[in-house]
Amino acid sequence: MPRHNTSVCGNCLNDYVVEQVKRAIKDQAMFQRGDRILVAVSGGKDSLSLWDILTRLGYDTAGLHIQQGIGDYSEESYRKTIAFSESRGAELIVHSLKEEEGAGVLELAELTDRSPCSACGVMKRYNFNKIARERGFDVLATGHNLDDEASRLLGNVLRWQEDYLAKQSPSLPATHDQLVKKVKPLYRLAEREITAYAVVNKIDYVIEECPMSVGSKMLVNKEVLNRLEADAPGTKQAFYFGFLERQRPADLSREDDKLQSCTRCGQPTSAAICSYCRILEKVKTAP
Ligand code: AMP
Ligand code: ZN
């Protein structure tokens, strides 16, 4: 672990990873014992490791997997997620876009002239929130790690997206009674530390990246940060943690005022009809 100027064995790695997650949960007041946590699991190393760690710590969790319908990649993701949940006897909720929304991510993108990543993002955010609320979960947890958050920060800074900067947080409270709290308990851990955790603990995850993410800004930013990190270990952490210390958080109490209920589905949105319903409209009217 160059950024800590140390090497560790498997046991010490496990202790370190679990300690960092405990600290994240405490420092950011993410959730408490007894809270019901819905873990969004893609089948990748981050979200499966997160589910593993939270279970190990004795939290009350269930997994939620969205089947995106992106060919072999989605099939493989689904298989790995199911295998993990069965091996742990853990509850898994599966939501298939093809079955529930009537089309997978690629068809949705085509019908709406959106990029696949944009259509996928809308579908995931909407269903994460709706399913968590409907099923009575207190909080939704995702597997975003330090690399994800640092590269998102870099993207937001490069374009000075102040709105996004104010809201970029490892713990976002529910700002509306129809919204669930969202947390990222892996934000203190680097991608390679989580990969090592998954390998040491024999977690069988999907190795390939989503084929739609090839060439995305997020991956370019990650590469840039990896080069900086290789040159000066600790750069990513200094960048992101330094931001969290200096951040002037958005006045989230006023966020509520900006939201209204979607006239179609009733979910909170900043427009009259939410993005999800606008996408579904296209599916319904497609030839
Ligand atoms: P990504 O945007 O693909 O880097 O994913 C970030 C986080 O979103 C993952 O760590 C998961 O927690 C969640 N996630 C991504 N894809 C899915 C999916 N198909 N089903 C459930 N959760 C997902
Ligand atoms: Zn709607």
pLDDT in tens, 205-241: 999 999 998 888 999 999 999 999 999 999 999 999 9
Per residue in 49-101, pLDDT (tens digit) is 999 999 999 999 999 999 999 999 999 999 999 999 999 999 999 999 999 99
In a domain, 266, yes or no: no
Whether the pTM exceeds 0.85: the reply is: yes
Q: Please give the radius of gyration of the chain, using alpha carbons only, rounded to the nearest integer.
A: 19
In a domain, 123, yes or no: yes
How high is the pLDDT of residue 258?
A: 80
Is the per-residue pLDDT at 254 higher than 70?
Answer: no
Task: Please choose from 39, 47, 75 the residue to mutate so as to test ligand 1's pocket, defined by most ligand atoms within 8 A of CB.
Answer: 47
| Residue 285 pLDDT level (bands cut at 50, 70, 90) | very high
| Residue 124 pLDDT level (bands cut at 50, 70, 90) | very high
Q: What span, in angstroms and rounded, lies between the C-alpha atoms of 69 and 101? A: 11
In a domain, 89, yes or no: yes
HSE at residue 99, side-chain half, CA atoms within 13 A, is 5
Closest residue by CA, ligand 1 atom 4: 144
Mean of pLDDT over the chain: 95
In a domain, 271, yes or no: no
Can you tell me the mean pLDDT for 2-16? 94
Q: What span, in angstroms and rounded, lies between the C-alpha atoms of 30 and 179? A: 15
Q: What are the angstrom distances between the C-alpha of 168 and each of 23, 44, 258, 263?
A: 19, 22, 18, 28
Residue 218 sits in which domain range? 2-254
Q: What is the CATH number of the domain that holds 233?
A: 3.40.50.620
In a domain, 11, yes or no: yes
Of all residues in the chain, what percent carry a pLDDT higher than 90?
90
Is the per-residue pLDDT at 251 higher than 90?
Answer: no
In a domain, 274, yes or no: no
| Count: domains in the chain | 1
Per residue in 27-56, pLDDT (tens digit) is 999 999 999 999 999 999 999 999 999 999
Closest residue by CA, ligand 1 atom 18: 42
Which residue ranges have their beta carbon within 6 Å of ligand 1?
A: 40-42, 46-47, 64-66, 68, 124, 142-144, 148
**Greatest distance between any 2 Cα atoms in the chain:** 60
| Residue 253 pLDDT level (bands cut at 50, 70, 90) | low
Give residue 103 CA to ligand 2 midpoint distance, Å: 17
Task: Please choose from 21, 37, 42 the residue to mutate so as to test ligand 1's pocket, defined by most ligand atoms within 8 A of CB.
Answer: 42
The tokens describing 76, both together, are 């493989």
In a domain, 278, yes or no: no
In a domain, 273, yes or no: no
